[in-house]
């Protein structure tokens, strides 16, 4: 309960000061740098999201099911990024997720009579 209270208070404080900081940066010499970095990180986030979506698609859908995706240029462009992400994902990730889910739900089970 204390975590939720501290979180709510901090959220309100940040919500009050964000417009102030935003207008200060927008009106200063850092405005252009802020916009440039925002654009750069937005593009980077988009690339990572597409690579993760393709990785999930390739793991979830059997190859050849959707030839439009299999033959797309995006697969070739994102292959290297997807390989880098895939190398860092453990091979037993689905089992790990299932195990975590079962651990969480086992504590919620009704007691046996």
**What is the pLDDT, as a whole number, of residue 84?**
80
Q: What is the pTM of this model?
A: 0.54
- Whether the per-residue pLDDT at 107 is higher than 80: the answer is no
- 16-70: pLDDT as tens digits: 998 888 888 888 888 888 889 999 999 999 988 888 888 888 777 777 788 888 7
**What is the pLDDT, as a whole number, of residue 102?**
81
Instruction: For the chain, give every domain's residue range.
Output: 2-106
For residues 74-83, give the mean pLDDT.
79
DSSP labels, the chain: -HHHHHHHHHHHHHHHHHHHHHHHHHTSTHHHHHHHHHHHHHHHHHHHHHHHHHHHHHHHS-TTS-HHHHT-HHHHHHHHHHHHHHHHS-TTHHHHHHHHHHHHHHTTSPPP-
* % of the chain beyond a pLDDT of 70: 93
For residues 60-82, give the mean pLDDT.
80
């Amino acid at each position: 309960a204390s975590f939720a209270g501290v979180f709510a208070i901090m959220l309100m404080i940040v919500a009050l000061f964000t417009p102030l900081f935003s207008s200060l940066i927008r009106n200063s010499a850092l405005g252009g740098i802020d916009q440039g970095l925002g654009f750069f990180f937005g593009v980077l986030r988009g690339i990572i999201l597409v690579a993760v979506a393709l990785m999930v698609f390739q793991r979830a859908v059997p190859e050849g099911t959707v030839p439009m995706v299999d033959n797309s240029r995006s697969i070739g462009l994102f292959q290297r990024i997807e390989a880098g992400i895939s190398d860092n994902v453990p091979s037993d990730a689905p089992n790990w997720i299932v195990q975590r889910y079962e651990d969480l739900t086992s504590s919620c089970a009704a007691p046996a009579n």
